[in-house]
Structure 1
Amino acid sequence: MTPAEIGSVWAPRLLSVLRIMAALLFMQHGTQKLLGFPNMPANGQPAMGTLLWFGGVIELVGGALIAIGFFTRPAAFIASGMAAVAYFLFHAGRGFFPVMNGGELAALYCFVFLYIAAAGPGPWSVDATMSRNRASRWT
């Protein structure tokens, strides 16, 4: 197999792996904020309806949707925007460099989810399965 053939076989699968792992890690922020799991946030759980609470809802629900690959593109786009807002509201004011202001994860999530919103969920997803099922009904 040539490197190009290997890439064409594995790139879509690794997109699915990236989507799943990024979403599961993202969900941890939501479970921490909303459920106090695996530990309580340093400032305690956010009050319902606050900006941090809405962030937790997006992290938990959006992360779950992205992880299973259902409504992946819109969920990833919303998660990307939430991560960008988190970076600029909570990190950028502490300094220019993300490594210094604690915003590396927010910046990384922003761009990973933006890529997933553009590239799609990959073959191992509910969206891909539904698309294949729709296509097979019409052939």
Structure 2
Amino acid sequence: MSTTTFLATILKPNTSPNFWSQTAWAVLRAVVGIVMIHNGLDKLGNIESFSQAYVEYIGLPFPIFFSYLAALTETIGAPLVAIGFLTRPAAFGLFGTMCVAMYHHILVAGLNLSYLELSAVYAVCFLFFTINGGGLFSTDALIANWLDASAFSMQAKRIMRLEKAYQAQSVAEMVSK
């Protein structure tokens, strides 16, 4: 293998949904989803404290409501992302909570990376899943394939009925001649 071919192989982006890229996608989805769950559980453990320290600090109205909203988004949305079920809406909700977390960190510490890094990584991961969905190895993909098969099956049955009706009409026309 020449150096040019080797470099081209390393640098070429993956544009096809092959087994390994989809496996990496599924692993990322599962890890990010599972690891995020504890954040919501921590909030639910002491919702008043979270509300005062975070939500009131950034000036959101109804701090207890938004605290519960963040906690439930993380405790319900994160497992959904992990199993790849309703991935896009769950990831979108989690992306929103991470944007609020990043805003809080910027208010507290400015653009200090040690405060921003974790919420920024989470935000980018959830944005990725919001845009791309759960991938081929997700519950969403299983359901979509099942729905497509059902739709195809119904369409095939309609075509068969039309074909039978056409054949019956052709036979009737031949008999009447």
Q: Using structure 1 for the length normalisation, give the TM-score.
A: 0.79
Which of 9, 22, 29 is the aligned partner of 1:19? 29
**Whole-Å Cα distance in 1 between the matches of residues 32 and 69 of structure 2?**
19
Shift of 1:124: 2.2
**Whole-Å Cα distance in 1 between the matches of residues 25 and 32 of structure 2?**
10
Residue 74 (structure 1) aligned with residue 89 (structure 2): yes
Task: Tell me the secondary structure at the aligned position of residue 103 of structure 1.
Answer: helix
Q: Which structure is larger by alpha-carbon Rg, 1 or 2?
A: 2
The alignment covers a number of residue pairs equal to 126
Which of 105, 110, 127 is the aligned partner of 1:91? 105
2:136 maps to which residue? Answer: 123
User: Which structure is higher in RCO with an 8 Å CA cutoff and minimum separation 6?
Assistant: 1
Shift of 1:122: 1.4
Task: Tell me the secondary structure at the aligned position of residue 18 of structure 2.
Answer: helix
Alignment of 1:25-104 (within 5 A): 25-34=35-44, 36=45, 45-47=46-48, 49-88=64-103, 90-93=104-107, 94-99=109-114, 102-104=115-117
The answer to whether the Cα contact below 8 Å between 1:91 and 1:98 also exists between their aligned partners in 2 is: no
Q: Which amino acid aligns with 1:28?
A: H
Q: Using structure 2 for the length normalisation, give the TM-score.
A: 0.64
Shift of 1:18: 0.5
Aligned CA distance change for structure 1 residues 107 and 11 (closer, same or farther; 3 Å) = same
Which of 112, 119, 128 is the aligned partner of 1:106? 119
The answer to whether the Cα contact below 8 Å between 1:62 and 1:75 also exists between their aligned partners in 2 is: yes
Shift of 1:15: 0.7
Q: Which amino acid aligns with 2:131?
A: A
Shift of 1:97: 2.5
1:42 maps to which residue? Answer: none
**Whole-Å Cα distance in 1 between the matches of residues 75 and 31 of structure 2?**
14
Unmatched tracts of structure 2, length 5 or more: 1-8, 52-63, 154-177
Instruction: Name the structure with the higher helix share.
Output: 2
Task: Tell me the secondary structure at the aligned position of residue 23 of structure 1.
Answer: helix
Residue 134 (structure 1) aligned with residue 147 (structure 2): yes
Identity %: 30
Shift of 1:9: 2.3
